[in-house]
Structure 1
């Protein structure tokens, strides 16, 4: 294969870059090759920014669609024109050759096979904090490259030859360190993505009949995606029980949702706990105390004075009702006696 098949994606470097806003943003590009029997694989190409789908393309429709946000029309038109040119001028063929080589090398008796190539990078302002590249076959990663490794890491022994081929064929390190961050900066410059939103955080508590205590910390409606939630006790981090997480999930409005749960150890009264939240829009970490146990019991155990007062009020009410009934009965008796006396006269 002649030269890299991916850098055509990053032609947007022709645009002038401004300093990236100080926030954590990520870019993920994924090429999926789907092959049935001996046909050339169909290629699906997607680009996500901050876990939101931005571009989509497939070789059947040959349409490049912008899925998210907007760009100034002249720049948008130039972008679409350049990308379509690159696709039509050989990028599809490069991708097909790559996928075909991989499929045949890994399994020569395939009928339906799926090959995926994923490139990922993450920036905090202008600082690159992560970069990875993965090749997967039928959903299983077989070769991986990141900024910390000196070369491709083979995940399955039987594909060592193919991973070696990847290492010798393309300057992948340049793709991860230079091209991917450059493209992410261009996208952040040109596209109006979701406005940054701080998380709305709620902390709740559940007391089970058997005495077990579960604490819930929920963050809603935040953007961008990166966020950190953890439990503290008396200001200290630690493992306080069985923890679980929903994972960061997308909402319909392009914001995100995350819930972390901790089931405390038996006999832990649940005092002194708080959920610590870190997000770009909060500035500094925010602390949200967990609610204390709501004591429930018999009313006279909770407040004897209230019980006594209630009893006295009830006694007074009953006495008043009895007195009224006696008074009414006395009046009726007197009226009856008067009527009887008049009749006898």
Structure 2
């Protein structure tokens, strides 16, 4: 661990020099990346410096105990050593957590896709409830949520709704939401008061830029059509909406939230890049991760991850066996506790892997 921390300290000092160079100051993209790296490394280096001081003091106390004859001095040194060794353990645990590799996508914006699953009209209504839950969560986080494409359900809610969520560490918090969400309740369409089980699928994808995923436009068929959603006077009068079909994968992406065809094309390409990235990532994970599948972070949209039980007012996350009995509050966007518990579980997994 000390070797790793020394490497980090060396890199921190190196970045400190690079950030003040004229070429970094004149290139905002480069400056921004170096600033973020400096800020991330600074926290670890500060903790490492404190840890190194504790180790130094432990050595001093041990030296006193090995050479000092005075009983009072020895007792003081012994007490100080006990305190320092306790502090050493605490700091080592903190440093181990700080050294857990971060997902490079955590700081990215996200594409949020919600689709009605089994359950007919009730599934579409539930998909609408989930969308409002994430909308409220995004508001509480100070994020911006833009709907890019939607298909409404016949009795309310959505058969499908695709949004872009922008802000700080969006993917890092939202990535745990990918999977099948299940609801147990009496649907508004039910006349005999029976509890039904319906489902909706949530997919959270990191927003991918052109530098992250290359798309050959010769492989993409572009169709334009009249926007049918919000958009004022231009709705149904101009061919501003875009539908992209990626021929090699069969992926289809639509975007109609902007009045400008170019802006819709740009957004649709971002969604397409993110979906292609997801396919490639799944292939990679299947190839290298077959021997150890993460309980928390697989992000597989076919996994049943959470149940919302209305008769009992309970929400349960099946990956970690964590429940809350405050369903109305959760549906109002208070999902932070679930995300925090999942983060803790993921970090515990990563620590365990690092020690194997």
The TM tier, using the shorter chain, reads: under 0.3
Give the structure with the larger strand fraction: 1
- When normalised by structure 1's length, the TM-score is 0.23
